[in-house]
Each structure stands twice: as structure tokens, then as C-alpha cells.
């Protein structure tokens, strides 16, 4: 008779268990290797960008210099009165003759003179702001002489004026509407703003409000070309944005 083998001692019966245990150990070893070699980087949070309500691009800031103190003029001593000696003058005979008055020939008073038609006075054409010698500017900057200082003063004045005077239209207050309206106007030879118009912009409420604000600019120092006051043409962007 052959001896019967004990089935518990037969390793073939545990093949599946050995396979599963080996597979689990292999996965654990692979996971540990990946964790040792992989680096994690946490992205740094970005800082929020603050935005202002009205932005006028390409308008650098300006610092207005303080007015220098004018020294008081020195008082000069009054000159001594000149004393005249009457004995030094020579007496002259009074032989002055009164000249005869000329007579004017007025001709025939019935003759009529036809007036010559001179036509309307010539109105100077506005000059672009970049070509004028002395830029128009507020009266606080009238003493500035350089073209760059005058342009910076005017840009800074317009920027702060629009920030205070422009109102966001109520009809667009409930919508996230943002638009830049370009306004063209003329500062005449007397420093007054005229011919204000919106040359770019889709929203009619924004166009109307921008034209209103520019039309109410105060009187300015007029621009000059070759020492004479001249009208100057200016284009200003007005940006509407509701934060």
C-alpha cells in the first residue's frame, strides 16, 4: 500500500496565497520608492490687484513746485532836489509866432463812399497738443516754462478733475460694465473749452457723462505758439469701471 500524503503539507494548495502575498509586497515596495523620489511644490498665492475707478493711461504724475518767495525790493534813497540859480539863465525876447492853421478841402459833401467789404475775421485753426510750443494748463501752473512740465501739469489736473466730477450712470450701476470713452475738445485762445465731442465709445450714457464733465472744465491758461495765444486740440480718455 502507498502512504497517503497530507493535503496540508502539499504547497501546491497554497500557490494562490503565496502569489497574493508577493504581489502585495511588490506594490508596497513600489509605493515607497515613488514617495521617496517624487517632490511636491505648493504654488505661492498671488496677491490681488487693486484697481481704481477711473484710469487715464499714459498720464505720468507731476509734482507742482512751490512758488518761490519774491524778495521785497530795496528802497533806494530819494534824490536831492536840484536847486536852480536864476542868475545863470539868459533872458530871451518873446518873438514866437503862432503858425497858421491849414485849410482842409472836404470836396463835395454829396459824394458817397462805398464801404469795402472785409469779410469775416480769420479764425485760427486748432493746433495739436504735441506740436504747440507752450501747452494750455491750469492757472496754478501758469509760471511753468518747460513744455514737458506744462504737459504733466495739465494731465495731472485732468486726471484728478475727472476722478472728482465724473459720476457713474445709474442705468449701468447694476451691471458689471467697463468702457473707455475718448473725448476730443478744443481749448481756444482765451483758455475756454469748446467743441467737446465723444469720438470713441459704445455706451451712450458713458459718452454723455464724459462730454458733460469735460464741458465744465474751468478756464485755463491758453496755449501759445511763437508768443501768441492759439487754440489747441486735446484728446482725453475717460474710463468707466465699477469696482
Give the mean model confidence (pLDDT) for residues 166-184.
Answer: 78
Closest by alpha carbon to 193, among 173, 164, 169, 222? 222
The answer to whether position 149 is within a domain reads yes
% of the chain exceeding 70 in pLDDT? 60
The answer to whether position 191 is within a domain reads yes
* 79/239: higher pLDDT: 239
Distance CA 40, CA 61 (A): 45
User: Which stretch of DSSP H or E encloses residue 196?
Assistant: strand 193-200
The answer to whether position 47 is within a domain reads no
The answer to whether position 91 is within a domain reads no
The answer to whether position 9 is within a domain reads no
133 pLDDT higher than 80: yes
185 pLDDT higher than 90: yes
Contacts of 240 (CB under 8 A, 6+ apart): 54, 166, 168, 172, 177, 178, 179, 180, 181, 203, 206, 209, 210
Give the count of domains, the chain.
1
Domain of 133?
53-62+125-243
113 pLDDT higher than 60: no
% of the chain exceeding 90 in pLDDT? 28
Query: What's the pLDDT tens digit per position in 53-100?
Result: 444 555 555 555 566 677 777 777 776 666 656 666 566 666 666 666
The answer to whether position 153 is within a domain reads yes
Give the mean model confidence (pLDDT) for residues 182-191.
Answer: 93
- Nearest 5°: the CA angle 62, 125, 160 is 25
Give the mean model confidence (pLDDT) for residues 167-187.
Answer: 80
- Check: CB of residue 134 under 8 Å from CB of residue 227: no
Query: What's the pLDDT tens digit per position in 44-54?
Result: 766 655 544 44
The answer to whether position 176 is within a domain reads yes
Closest by alpha carbon to 168, among 218, 235, 243? 243
CATH of the domain at 166: 3.30.1150
According to DSSP, the residues that pair with 200 across neighbouring strands are: 182
Amino acid at each position: 500500500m502507498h502512504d497517503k500524503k497530507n493535503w496540508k503539507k502539499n504547497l501546491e494548495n497554497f500557490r494562490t496565497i503565496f502569489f497574493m502575498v508577493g504581489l502585495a509586497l511588490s506594490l508596497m515596495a513600489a509605493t515607497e520608492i515613488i514617495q521617496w523620489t517624487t517632490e511636491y511644490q505648493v504654488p505661492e498665492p498671488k496677491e490681488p490687484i487693486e484697481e481704481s475707478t477711473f484710469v487715464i493711461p499714459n498720464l505720468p504724475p507731476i509734482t507742482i513746485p512751490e512758488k518761490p518767495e519774491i524778495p521785497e525790493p530795496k528802497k533806494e534813497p530819494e534824490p536831492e532836489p536840484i536847486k536852480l540859480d536864476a542868475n545863470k539863465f539868459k533872458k530871451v525876447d518873446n518873438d514866437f509866432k503862432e503858425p497858421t492853421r491849414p485849410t482842409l478841402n472836404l470836396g463835395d459833401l454829396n459824394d458817397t463812399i462805398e464801404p469795402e467789404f472785409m469779410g469775416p475775421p480769420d479764425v485760427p485753426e486748432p493746433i495739436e497738443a504735441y506740436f504747440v510750443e507752450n501747452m494750455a494748463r491750469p492757472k496754478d501752473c501758469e509760471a511753468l516754462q518747460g513744455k514737458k512740465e506744462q504737459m504733466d501739469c495739465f494731465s495731472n489736473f485732468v486726471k484728478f478733475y475727472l476722478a472728482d466730477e465724473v459720476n457713474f450712470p445709474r442705468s449701468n450701476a447694476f451691471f458689471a460694465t467697463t468702457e473707455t470713452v475718448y473725448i476730443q475738445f478744443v481749448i481756444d485762445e482765451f483758455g475756454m473749452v469748446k467743441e467737446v465731442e465723444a469720438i470713441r465709445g459704445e455706451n451712450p450714457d458713458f459718452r454723455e457723462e464724459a462730454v458733460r464733465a469735460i464741458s465744465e472744465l474751468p478756464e485755463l491758461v491758453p496755449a501759445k505758439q511763437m508768443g501768441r495765444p492759439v487754440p489747441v486740440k486735446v484728446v482725453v480718455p475717460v474710463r468707466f469701471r465699477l469696482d
